[in-house]
Amino acid sequence: MTEVVMEQMPPVLHGPTEKQRKYDRQLRLWAESGQAALESANLLLVNSGCGTVGVETLKNLVLPGIGRFTIVDDAVVSEADLGVNFFLDEGSLGKMRGQCSTELLLELNPEVHGDWYPKTKGDLNLEKVLATSSTFTLIMYTNPIRPADLAIIQAYGKQHKTPVVLVHSAGFYSYFRILLPGAFPIVDTHPDETATTDLRLLTPWPELVEFAKELTRDIDSLDNHVHGHLPFVVILLHYLDEWRATHDGAYPLKYAEKIAFRNLVQSKMRTDNPEGGEENFEEAVAAVLRAVQPTSLPSGIREVFDYKPTDPQEDGSPFWIIAEAVKKFYEKHRCLPVPGNVPDMKAESEVYIKLQNIYKAKARQDAAEVLKMVQAVPGGRDVDPAEVGLFCKNAAFVKLINASAGGGIDTILNSERLATVAAQEFSNDEMAEETLTPLSLLPIYLALYATSHVESSTREQIVSEIAKAVPGAGVNQRVVQAAEEVARAEGGELHNISALTGGMVAQEVIKVITKQYIPIDNTCIFDGIGSRCQVLRL
């Protein structure tokens, strides 16, 4: 049988390479796998307007080592560009903006490749750029965009199933949207370490039961040192048994029972020792409410189980093959595969390592069972066993983004959805003072959205555009204020707000490309006056 969970590779005794040293601080976040994904990515930026927010985004992607980027921008550098865009200098005046920014961005990281179009003013042919370039991993474009260019991007995105990111920054406001071509599953979500502990105290398997019994056979006559070094997992298993013996075999599941059980464990702590207590029993007491818990199916993986891939290509992907197998595993055992990690706890080294190995062995056994199920279906033999191992380890935290819309680039304007969200947000705002929730940032989105294709608008023009998109919204006082604030900028970017937005967009692009952490679903609005964000699904 194939080994699913990889054993530790023999350690390499030499230090890191120069590249590992350069990228050290980010490899600690997304590891070599994430880095490899970044380095093979090929990005397109279709730039417009003041042109800063897209370039600032690229800066944050060139630095960590994105593979390749292309800027499409038919603007010629003007004096005003130098006041807002850091990747231009005095020598850029009169030259193609895309070229100058590309050259200065490439200085940041010699490992990155970059190109620009058009090569000369007036020669822009976006369709040709798309047709002659190698396939783009992701496309970003900034508003205001010409509708004809948008149509070309939409056609390309649809054909190649390319994620598209749209960004708009003006004055103190910005928003960006991530339009994914279909359901987007993430296995490596990097949950909080404390959240991942899953000790299965209510469904222990024979090896774990045996181990705990062995250590606690004569628990009351153990010497103080051994008693004070029993791992808390073992302590809890022992007293759960004791509890069940006096409660018709039932576990303490109700809150009051858990408190009573906690008191039982507390009462077993020895206090007649020099320390006046025992750290391991304190850990056991502290863990009761969290660890004495029947296993339930987290919403993220439930959504994965319930999802029906619509597209045959999607259906045959390793993710969905593994998901189906894990679902079968769940249906058979009524629990997910054991993730296999054990938190640190007061214990003797040898005892702790044994305990750790019991959990690891169970995790390997569960993953092997899943792998067998995977390999039994068509295409399953091609699935990488390491991928199965990772899925099993993270099963409780697997996440599906963009599960219901699916439409991707076509959902740039989903009027029905927008109207529903607007009604919801405006009604929340009426209650905001009582519920102490911050006010909706949707008005900012609406005001910027109203200027998606125009360089600048007056407040009145913006309000009337908004009223067309969301009937009735034009009379909302906060919408009018947002429109006035957007009008103040007359389409101009503040460098600083674009830098901030470029940081947020870059984070999200990294998450989408590496398939690690959880990207927004699907619109993030930033308010530089109140200094806060809101994510809405539009």
Partner 1 sequence: MASVEVYPSIEPLRWKYLDRIRTRPGPFTDLDVFEGSAVAQNMDNMKVLVIGAGGLGCELLKNLALSGFKNIHVIDMDTIDISNLNRQFLFRKSDVGKFKAEVAAAFVESRVKGVSITPHKCKIQEFDEDFYMQFQIIVCGLDSIEARRWINATLVDMVDEENPESFIPLIDGGTEGFQGQSRVILPTMTACIECMLDMHVPRAQVPLCTIATIPRQPEHCIEWAHQIAWDKEKPFPKLDKDDPEHITWLYQKALARAEEFNIPGVTYSRTQGVVKNIIPAIASTNAIIAASCCNEALKIATNCAPFLGMPEQNNYMQYSGNDSIYTYTFQTEKKPDCPVCGNRARDLDVNLGWTLKELIEALAVNPSAQLKKPSVRTEKKTLYMQSPPGLEEQTRPNMDKTLLELGLEEGEQIGVTDPAFPSVSFKFALRFK
Q: Restricting to residues 82-121, name those near partner 1 by CB under 8 A.
A: 82-84, 86, 89-90, 107-110
Minimum CB distance to partner 1 smaller for 419 or for 518: 518
Compose the 223-252 pattern: x for residues touching partner 1 by CB under 8 A, - for all others. ------x-----------------------
Give me the amino acid identity at 333. Answer: H
Q: Residue 464, class by beta-carbon neighbours within 10 Å (0-12 exposed, 13-18 middle, 19+ buried)?
A: middle
User: CA 197 to CA 481: how far, in whole Å?
Assistant: 47
The nearest distance, CB 538 to partner 1, in angstroms, is: 14
The nearest distance, CB 112 to partner 1, in angstroms, is: 12
Per-residue b or e along 416-432, where b marks 16 or more CB atoms closer than 10 Å to that residue's CB: eebeebbeebbeebeee
Total site size for partner 1, rule CB under 8 A? 91
User: CA 434 to CA 502: how far, in whole Å?
Assistant: 35
CB atoms within 10 A of CB 366: 25
Subset of 325-364 contacting partner 1 (CB under 8 A): 344-345, 347-350, 352-353
The residues with which 536 forms a beta bridge, in sequence order, are 523
Q: Which of 5, 230, 528, 538 binds partner 1 (CB under 8 A)?
A: 528
Minimum CB distance to partner 1 smaller for 11 or for 122: 11
Q: Is residue 507 near partner 1 by the rule CB under 8 A?
A: yes
The residues with which 523 forms a beta bridge, in sequence order, are 177, 536
Cβ-Cβ contacts under 8 Å for 160 (sequence gap 6 or more): 135, 136
Compose the 411-440 pattern: x for residues touching partner 1 by CB under 8 A, - for all others. ---------------------------x--
Judged by CB under 8 A, the stretch of 5-13, 234-242, 252-260, 406-414 that binds partner 1 is 5-13
Judged by CB under 8 A, the stretch of 4-12, 248-256, 327-335, 384-392 that binds partner 1 is 4-12
Q: What's the distance, Cα to Cα, between the start and end of the chain in Å?
A: 47
Q: Is residue 140 near partner 1 by the rule CB under 8 A?
A: no
Residue 385: cis peptide before it, omega within 30 degrees of 0: no
Q: Which of 234, 284, 370, 504 binds partner 1 (CB under 8 A)?
A: 504
Compose the 449-488 pattern: x for residues touching partner 1 by CB under 8 A, - for all others. -------x-xx---------------------x--xx-xx
Q: Which of 1, 8, 134, 435 binds partner 1 (CB under 8 A)?
A: 8
Q: Is residue 520 near partner 1 by the rule CB under 8 A?
A: yes
The residues with which 46 forms a beta bridge, in sequence order, are 72, 141
Q: Is residue 518 near partner 1 by the rule CB under 8 A?
A: yes
User: CA 249 to CA 262: how far, in whole Å?
Assistant: 17
The nearest distance, CB 401 to partner 1, in angstroms, is: 9
Q: Which of 23, 116, 175, 239 binds partner 1 (CB under 8 A)?
A: 23
Query: 523-527 and 532-536 as β-strands: parallel, antiparallel, unpaired?
Result: antiparallel
Q: Which of 45, 335, 422, 499 binds partner 1 (CB under 8 A)?
A: 499
Q: Is residue 308 near partner 1 by the rule CB under 8 A?
A: no
Q: Which of 400, 489, 512, 538 binds partner 1 (CB under 8 A)?
A: 489
H, E, C per residue of 358-424: HHHHHHHHHHHHHHHHHHCCCCHHHCCHHHHHHHHHHHHHCEEECCCCCCHHHHHCCHHHHHHHHHH
User: CA 61 to CA 514: how far, in whole Å?
Assistant: 12
Subset of 36-55 contacting partner 1 (CB under 8 A): 50
Q: Which of 1, 13, 148, 256 binds partner 1 (CB under 8 A)?
A: 13
Query: Residue 232 is encoded by which pair of tokens?
Result: 């808390």
Q: Which of 77, 129, 358, 500 binds partner 1 (CB under 8 A)?
A: 500
Subset of 158-177 contacting partner 1 (CB under 8 A): 171-172
Judged by CB under 8 A, the stretch of 6-14, 361-369, 377-385, 409-417 that binds partner 1 is 6-14
Minimum CB distance to partner 1 smaller for 202 or for 351: 351
Q: Is residue 513 near partner 1 by the rule CB under 8 A?
A: no
Q: Which of 37, 51, 54, 56 binds partner 1 (CB under 8 A)?
A: 56
Judged by CB under 8 A, the stretch of 60-68, 198-206, 285-293, 303-311 that binds partner 1 is 60-68
C-alpha torsion 213→219→224→227, nearest 10: 40
Minimum CB distance to partner 1 smaller for 318 or for 491: 491
Judged by CB under 8 A, the stretch of 57-65, 133-141, 282-290, 426-434 that binds partner 1 is 57-65
CA-nearest of 403, 452, 456, 425 to 536 is: 425
The nearest distance, CB 61 to partner 1, in angstroms, is: 8
Judged by CB under 8 A, the stretch of 26-34, 149-157, 250-258, 406-414 that binds partner 1 is 26-34
Main-chain dihedrals φ then ψ at residue 508, nearest 5 degrees: -70, -40
Locus of tokens 């070309």: 152
User: CA 300 to CA 323: how far, in whole Å?
Assistant: 12
Angle (CA) 499-501-506 rounded to 5° is: 95
User: CA 45 to CA 69: how far, in whole Å?
Assistant: 7
The nearest distance, CB 427 to partner 1, in angstroms, is: 22
